[in-house]
Chains A and B, each alone.
Chain A
Amino acid sequence: MNEILVALAGNPNVGKSTLFNFLTGLRQHVGNWPGKTVERREGICKHERRTLKIIDLPGTYSLTAYSEEELIARDFIVKERPDVVIDVVDASNLERNLYLTLQLLELTDRVVVALNMMDVAEAEGVEIDVQRLSEILGVPVVPIVADEGEGVDELLQAAVAVAEGKLRTQPYRTDFGTHIERQIRELEALLAGEGEIGYPRRWFAVKLLENDPVVVEAAKRLDVGTELLRQLDELRATEIHHNFEIELVDKRYEQISRIVKEALRRREGPLRQELTDKIDKIVTHRIWGLPILLAIYGFVFWATFFLSRPLVNALEAAFSRLGTLLAAKAADAPAWLVGVLVDGIIGGVGTVLTFLPVIAIFFLLYAVLEDWGYMARAAFVMDKFMHVVGLHGRAFLCLLCGFGCNVPAIMATRTLADSREKLITVLINPLVPCSVRLGVLAFVTAVFFSGIVATAVMLSLVALSLFLVAISALLFRRLLLRGEHPPFIMEMPPYRMPTARNVLLYAWERIKAFVVRAGTLIVAVSVVMWWLMSAGPSGGFFSVSGVPPEASYAAMLGKLLEPIGELCGFNWRVIVALMFGFLAKELSVATLGVLYGGGEEALRAVLPAAWSPLLAYTFLAVHMIYVPCVATVATMRKETNSWRWTLFGVAYSLVLAFLAGVLIYNGGRLLL
């Protein structure tokens, strides 16, 4: 027997990912659905000498054509024809969950229902007659507790039996009532003349009545297409009082109520107040909600960027020692080879690795909050405030995290529901000044200004950044969402104890994704930048330490760009420094140190002579705004899954920085 293809379907927040993690463990791979920004998770699971390939479909409430996630899920079932679909259902919320179940049963007969969270349901006084439910639905129903793996063996047994055809199912067929059923039969009769249509016929007919855009398009390509659409038009014209789309939804719910009445019993007696409601009373409180959120996020921020500091420093030191060691060992080797190895590759790999402690701590904490259920509450509390810039509450943490580092901040946009909103949050994130940029800001400010002026300079530049974040968000929303505000509708999952498996796998996956997908690009850019800095047209490579920088390709490029830079008062040295800031923002100061001679410390003495305070201020403004560092760009590419949007984001920030530079420099000269 070959591999068995298993699809996991279900509503969001029903423990589908928990089941997936339990089944696959480390044998899972996370990517994107082809051409989409939606996450695709697949993994391997062994069961009784069989290999199960498990695909975690996006969590959905329905299978319409109106959201990317739902289309992906139903296309997978129709086109890839999995051997079995495991429908994960939250037993404590049976009514709502069965809505998807009925739709799955309309689409395929190879379904097994996994009744998760039986423990919660029992605690809430809900008793489910599993046997009866299975009889009504006509497919196996297996109670499980995904957190502990309880019942999973039985579930896989049933899934394999259905996949191998040893267990015949008789899926429940939703009865849409005499009137609609007649329409369905007529459409089906028309479809009967057609060969293979790629979808189950009854389902196809139902979707035509629902006016499903994808199915209507598919119908146009059929031989009977014109006939089908003519009949539908007639139907709509003669029965204007019938809103089929809504009626079909109502019919499904009608039958669900009947199923629930038969298979579910609520224990009598007063319901005790649930823990979830008690916690919600506090964390969504109109006064306390916000301080609690700020305290929790404050802790996450502090832990991420301050607890990781010693580790980051140790990694940096280790890599610089490794470089020195290698350079000494390879003293006889050609200078270019040492350069490539030490400055290019080791430097690049070092850059990648120094991000790891930050990403690890951030996503461990993030996963705990998400798994526990707090993230949804935070989005609820922040929604009012984020509304001002046209974003939903969830985007807040992504922006806040940007003050520490834009890389995990952009990676965190993955959990935003709307793909356009996600794109906006990715695009504006680099404008949030990260801690490294704030460091450069503090350093240069201290060289030129002191006392109250220094404070004003720093505050004004941070304010400028935040102002640009806000107007960019509004601008992109105009551009991408064309002014519409997507309605805020979000389920709040009950609080659950986070499981170690979920949290660790989540953080591990983030780290792996960063190293593999972003890391390679970072190393490649490091090598190129090193080459630009240490090679020149006069031939030959300069030695690692003694660089005569004026003769390098980097300097040539800087001089070439000088006429543009001069519009904001920048000479080629400043331009080269900014170029190297692309590698890592702190390198801009180091490069200035090299180019003005004497290194970073001597800058304190040299810079005030070379730059006017106005130029320093202009430099800082440009430095805050222009192209994010290469790690951020690589992450943008990874999360948007598109070079086009990544380059757009880069170009946008460049133009914005240039405009700001020109305005500040020339405006300042007029005023001063």
Chain B
Amino acid sequence: MTQVIPLSMLAENEEGRVVSVRGGYGFVRRLAELGLNPGVRVKMLRATNGGPLLIYVRGSRIALGRGVAMHVLVEVES
């Protein structure tokens, strides 16, 4: 059983697969350039309370603001 949740709700050490990125072209493109586009696997490394998140994607660690991560939908096994 899979379910789709915002990336910001991924728990630490949990993995997921990006389903879609919502937002303006510029925003979506910028995330894609950093390797965050549909189909890619991400792992949550650090989720701070109210602060930014640290994820692992395509071999690099990317810090994202919580607002940014709200716009990325990921599919997780539940």
Contact = CB atoms under 8 A, between A and B. Distances in A.
> Interface of chain A, helix or strand or loop or mixed?
helix
Interface stretch (A246-254, A425-433, A440-448): A246-254
B64 to A, nearest CB: 6
A96 B63 contact: no
A487 B70 CA distance: 11
Interface residues of A, number: 37
Contact of A491 (B25, B28, B61, B65): B61
A487 B58 contact: no
Interface string B44-78: 01101111101000111111110110000000000
Interface of B: 25-35, 37-39, 45-46, 48-52, 54, 58-65, 67-68
A384 B50 CA distance: 7
Contacts of B35: 95-96, 99
B6 to A, nearest CB: 15
A489 B54 contact: no
Given A95-B58, A253-B37, A384-B51, A492 B65 contact: no
Contacts of B38: 250
Contacts of B39: 253
Contacts of B32: 246, 249-250, 253
Contacts of B51: 380-381, 383-384
Interface in A238-256: 243, 245-246, 249-250, 253
Contact of A383 (B26, B34, B52, B61): B52
A250 B52 CA distance: 26
A413 interface: no
Given A61-B34, A62-B29, A485-B67, 7 more contacts: A93-B58, A94-B59, A383-B52, A488-B63, A488-B65, A489-B62, A491-B62
B26 to A, nearest CB: 6
Interface string A258-278: 000000000000000000110
13 contacts: A61-B34, A95-B35, A96-B58, A245-B28, A249-B32, A280-B61, A286-B48, A379-B63, A384-B48, A488-B52, A489-B31, A489-B62, A491-B60
A380 B63 CA distance: 7
Contact of B29 (A64, A95, A376, A494): A64
Nearest to B26: A66
A286 B59 contact: no
A1 interface: no
B25 A380 contact: no
A490 interface: yes
Contacts of A92: 59
Contacts of A494: 61
Contacts of A174: none
A384 B34 contact: no
A58 B22 CA distance: 28
B59 A380 contact: no
Contacts of B59: 92-96
A249 B29 contact: yes
A62 B61 CA distance: 18
Contact of A280 (B31, B46, B50, B62): B46
